[in-house]
Structure 1
Amino acid sequence: MLDPMLLLVPLLLAILATVVGFPPLIGYLLAGFALYGAGIEALPFLEPIADLGVLLLLFAIGLKLDLRSLAKSEVWGGASIHLGLTVLVSSLFIKGLGLVGLSQFAALSLDQTLLLAFALGFSSTVFAIKVLEERGDSQTLYGRTAIGILIMQDLFAVVYLTASKGALPSVWALGLLALPLARPLFYRLLDRVGHGEVLVLFGLAMALVPGAALFDLVGLKPDLGALVMGLLLAGHRKANELSKSLFLFKELFLVAFFLSIGQQGLPTGSEIVAALLLTLLLPFKSALFLAMLTRFRLRARSAMMASLTLGNFSEFGLIVLTAAIAVGSMDPSWLRVMALMVTFSFLLAAPLSDRGQEIYSRWRARLKKMERYPSHPEDQPIRLGQPRVLIFGMGRIGSGAYDDLRQHYGDNILGIDHKQEIVDHHNNAGRQVVLGDATDTDFWEKLEHSDSIELVLLAMPSHHGNEFTARQLKRVKFKAEVAAVSRWPEEEAELYDLGVSQVYNIYEAAGAGMAEQILERNKASLGAKVSMTSRTA
């Protein structure tokens, strides 16, 4: 019973990491080192769980893969150029450290130097998604751009992982080209599995059997198979639900992967120095993202927020080095160095990301000089015109409110949403909706105020977005009445404190709406019965 009790170590260290404002991943890495330092040098149950965590990570990436988003120049161009320049500059930096007499770097061959530089080029998907979801910025332009770049980087890693197997695939691998023909079968199965534990089992089976096992059988990397299976299912209406259902499993299994890194042994003094020296590349990495994204015509704030989100080292760097060590291409000591670098980068990136808006406000004048005009089509300023009602967030709640309010206000209603496809959908349906990101401070600075607005409705799905917007409305002294939606009592209290006059709990409103519809149907049914009785009489 000793091994299960050891799980208390990563649990406590992960809690400690989150308490001080860092990702729990730091706690898991430190727990691996701590267990090794305590004399526990082998945890045999970790390896298969760690492998499963990596496979589910790639399967989840495939499920979220939107090939249209990868076709955007700022995504594929930004990821490709950044990785190429990072490999070049990092290689020169590593060789320079070797020339000044640091033996650990001097011992690296050219191939090993390029491989290490390649591992340094990745940014953490786990860290970025956590930061974006906490802020409610996953669907902002900078958030979607950052996630797109991360997916491109992950694809580059999968290509390497596949090539690193070191053996030519079987001729039967060509048969995998027919795998998309089985998509209708996979879709039909996904339609029938429901929404509970069978959905989770379906996801695990797809990732491991037609994904990992089938690809391994024909001589290809199992990781590639998991990614391809996720990609084949990505177009299904339940793909997002499937991804969410596997989320906790994936995160739990990845804990084993990070713990296993620490099982490689405690870092030596020279390895700590090497990690600190390579961490000096982080400012270059972030600055390069900032320069590139402004060249792709993102505004300075969007580019800077994306660069802070991506300015770290990645768990995929660890995965790449693990694969290289497995085939003898790198010394195992570099895995410990990389683990330290990931930890150091998170320690730096977490507070910088939290203070992103403050940093932008301080350096705004200089950052604005980097902008290119005209701005990105999704990064344009907003011109309101003369509406009487303003609705932020045109999802189901916002569009429903728009249609109901139209009966009183006519066409004097304007919706605002940050997703171009949502804007296009509503405009095609006859609603007036414009593109805008209310969580962007530049949005408020460039907003053309209108005295005609009588009512503002905050209908965004994220409380962070509604709360931030309410704060900005208060700051600019908007005189209109403000109403908002919430989920929990504490959210209602925060919104009322910010001057929101009416807050609607979406769960209570849904229940009231359901009751109202039932009563209306019952009245109609009763009226029909009375009418039929009178005719019969």
Structure 2
Amino acid sequence: MLELIWISAALLAGLLASRLFFPPLVGYLAAGYALHYFKIQALPNLAHLADIGIQLLLFTVGLKLKARSLLRKEVLSVGGLHLLLMASVSALVFFWLDQRVTGGLILGVSLSFSSTVLAIKVLEDSGELSALHGRDVLSILILQDIVAIGLLAYAEGEQPQPWAAALFLLPLLRPITHRLLTACHSAELKLLLGVTLALAGGVLAEHVGVAADIGALLTGLTLAGHPSTTALANKLWGIKELFLVAFFLQIGLTDLPGREQFVIALQLLAMLPLQGLMFFGLFLFAGLRARNAFVSALVLMTYSEFALITTGAVVKAGLLPDEWQAIISLAVAGSLAIAAPLNRFSQPLFAACETFLIKFEKPSGHPDRLPDCLGVAEWLVIGMGDTGISAYQTLANQEQRVVGLDADPTVLERLLADGRRVVYGDAEDSSLLSRLPLERIKGIVLAVPSLEVRTSAISLLRKRGFLGLIGTVGGNAEEALSLQQQGADFVIQPLLEAGKQLAKQITGNRTPQH
């Protein structure tokens, strides 16, 4: 009965949030507070289920992560400087308020961390996790997690065991885990292997005094690069989402704040724009374009769920009063509720401010620069996944002058090594589509996975006056009609076309072969 109450509350609140154009997670947060307010008994092992959700989330991130991305200039400069500035501001504020400076400093550093759960969900949902700025955001989050481990150890008076450093050798097990994944022929076995490795990494990390999610991330890295990782990540998606509902519900289980604590929590929420501005300025300083700096800053403009853990440890150690636990709980929940809808409309928000924001860009040779020349190319393929590469190769085989465009730096690196002509560009970036030099281009193949991106890209290309051919893919007849209405000349439905080709092949070869 208790399980039904909690799950039903999450469902109803999630549906209500969706009706109000908020992401469902805002409803889950509200449901947690409501259940706590009405003194509904907590669901047994809710916190444990939430931990599993975070481990599965970080494991799927590890499947796509390259370790060297942590050493990028913008990761170390933006992530490091932001932590330092926030810690300094926090210490000054608590000193001015005559509060306990040590506890305030730890709390301030904790509040400089961004929500890993929300950021990764936003980037995954928008398809930008593998984009250049998406990888930078992810790497900054991992850097924050590493600092958080040391911070929590200091607050609790504990230290990771000497063997903790050995966790970073886990990716060396890649040949073994790759063989295991290859040996799992059925989808069920692949899914079971993924869950097993995620939980094993978490247990191993906890045994050496490190956060379980770091262990799950590292075991995910052991499978990175395997041909089946995309299918595995897709299989884990539903399970991960279900467990993460428990994470958002449990935030409401801490004590509800009184009037004074509520006011302090609102003051902390009022400081969120400062955090966003700080990230935006630091990203620009590191050389990113205004669009990518804006989107990245918006993703990171939250308070981290880790602040809840750190605050509990600080309060327990007597470094801050008990009331801070309720304050931080509300501030974290509020920041997630604010950031989720803002990130949903990040592209329109930037478009509205673009003329003003691009004034702050500085000239640099950063890889996210817009391409100013496509050479002598007459055909452009946007999105170099399986469909895009097939279209590119077909055009190249016909001796057509073709260039590919993709937002994933690892994809570009691989394709350039194969001798293909490709450039960096994000199809979600309205500036890219507005400024691409298309004078020579006869036709564009749009092969990005997101229907929303394909639709908006076609609309923008036609509005800027592009008269060439546009071809893309649609999942069904309804999608195909919508894309054609936006201005697409050709829309292929892959499954429908596959059926036609199969029928042609089988009727064209009537001789049975055994």
Q: In structure 1, what is the equivalent of residue 105 of structure 2? A: 114
Q: In structure 1, what is the equivalent of residue 241 of structure 2? A: 251
Q: In structure 2, what is the equivalent of residue 447 of structure 1? A: 436
Q: In structure 2, what is the equivalent of residue 199 of structure 1? A: 190
Q: Does the CA contact (< 8 Å) of 2:54 and 2:117 recur in 1?
A: no
Q: In structure 2, what is the equivalent of residue 155 of structure 1? A: 146
**Range with bigger deviation, 141-150 or 112-121:** 141-150
For 1:203, give the aligned amino acid: G
Q: In structure 2, what is the equivalent of residue 275 of structure 1? A: 265
Alignment map for 1:50-89 (pairs within 5 Å): 50-89=50-89
Give the direction of change, closer, same or farther, for the CA distance of 1:225–1:161 in structure 2 (3 Å limit).
Answer: farther
The residue matched to 1:339 in structure 2 has which SS? helix
Shift of 1:448: 2.2
Distance 1:197 1:467 in 2: 35
Gaps of 5+ in 2: none
Distance 2:336 2:469 in 1: 42
Which of 454, 457, 460 is the matching residue for 1:466?
454
Distance 1:291 1:8 in 2: 43
> Quick one: percent identity of the two aligned structures?
38
**Range with bigger deviation, 132-141 or 338-347:** 132-141
Q: In structure 2, what is the equivalent of residue 491 of structure 1? A: 479
Q: In structure 2, what is the equivalent of residue 404 of structure 1? A: 394
Distance 2:443 2:223 in 1: 42
1:503 aligns to 2:494 (yes or no): no
Give the direction of change, closer, same or farther, for the CA distance of 1:490–1:205 in structure 2 (3 Å limit).
Answer: same
Shift of 1:432: 3.1
For 2:195, give the aligned amino acid: L
1:388 aligns to 2:398 (yes or no): no
Q: In structure 1, what is the equivalent of residue 406 of structure 2? A: 417
Give the direction of change, closer, same or farther, for the CA distance of 1:17–1:158 in structure 2 (3 Å limit).
Answer: farther
The residue matched to 1:377 in structure 2 has which SS? coil
For 1:372, give the aligned amino acid: K
Distance 1:71 1:218 in 2: 25
Give the direction of change, closer, same or farther, for the CA distance of 1:59–1:419 in structure 2 (3 Å limit).
Answer: closer
TM-score, scaled relative to structure 2:
0.88
Distance 1:63 1:323 in 2: 31
Aligned length: 514
Q: In structure 1, what is the equivalent of residue 301 of structure 2? A: 311
Distance 2:169 2:127 in 1: 39
Distance 1:181 1:134 in 2: 30
Q: In structure 1, what is the equivalent of residue 43 of structure 2? A: 43
Distance 1:307 1:219 in 2: 31
Q: In structure 2, what is the equivalent of residue 142 of structure 1? A: 133
Q: Does the CA contact (< 8 Å) of 1:33 and 1:265 recur in 2?
A: no
Shift of 1:250: 3.0
For 2:20, give the aligned amino acid: V
**Cα distance per residue 1:229-250 (max 9 Å; x no partner):** 3333435444444444333333
**Cα distance per residue 1:349-402 (max 9 Å; x no partner):** 344334434443443343223211124123233313443322222222122122
The residue matched to 1:8 in structure 2 has which SS? helix
The residue matched to 1:369 in structure 2 has which SS? helix
Q: Does the CA contact (< 8 Å) of 1:275 and 1:337 recur in 2?
A: yes
**Cα distance per residue 1:164-220 (max 9 Å; x no partner):** 5644566676876875665443333232233423333323322334x3334444555
For 2:456, give the aligned amino acid: F
Aligned residues: CA RMSD:
3.1
Distance 2:196 2:312 in 1: 25
**Cα distance per residue 1:76-106 (max 9 Å; x no partner):** 321121122122223323444x25xxxxxx3
**Range with bigger deviation, 157-166 or 184-193:** 157-166
1:475 aligns to 2:463 (yes or no): yes
**Cα distance per residue 1:262-307 (max 9 Å; x no partner):** 2222221112111101112111111111111111111112211221
**Range with bigger deviation, 157-166 or 334-343:** 157-166
Gaps of 5+ in 1: 100-105, 530-537
Q: Does the CA contact (< 8 Å) of 1:207 and 1:230 recur in 2?
A: yes
TM-score, scaled relative to structure 1:
0.85
Give the direction of change, closer, same or farther, for the CA distance of 1:497–1:296 in structure 2 (3 Å limit).
Answer: same
- Which protein shows a greater Rg? 1
Q: In structure 2, what is the equivalent of residue 12 of structure 1? A: 12
Give the direction of change, closer, same or farther, for the CA distance of 1:124–1:170 in structure 2 (3 Å limit).
Answer: closer
1:188 aligns to 2:179 (yes or no): yes
Q: In structure 2, what is the equivalent of residue 366 of structure 1? A: 356
Shift of 1:485: 0.9
The residue matched to 1:380 in structure 2 has which SS? coil
Shift of 1:435: 2.5
Distance 1:177 1:461 in 2: 33
Q: Does the CA contact (< 8 Å) of 1:298 and 1:375 recur in 2?
A: no
Shift of 1:428: 4.2
Q: Does the CA contact (< 8 Å) of 1:122 and 1:314 recur in 2?
A: yes
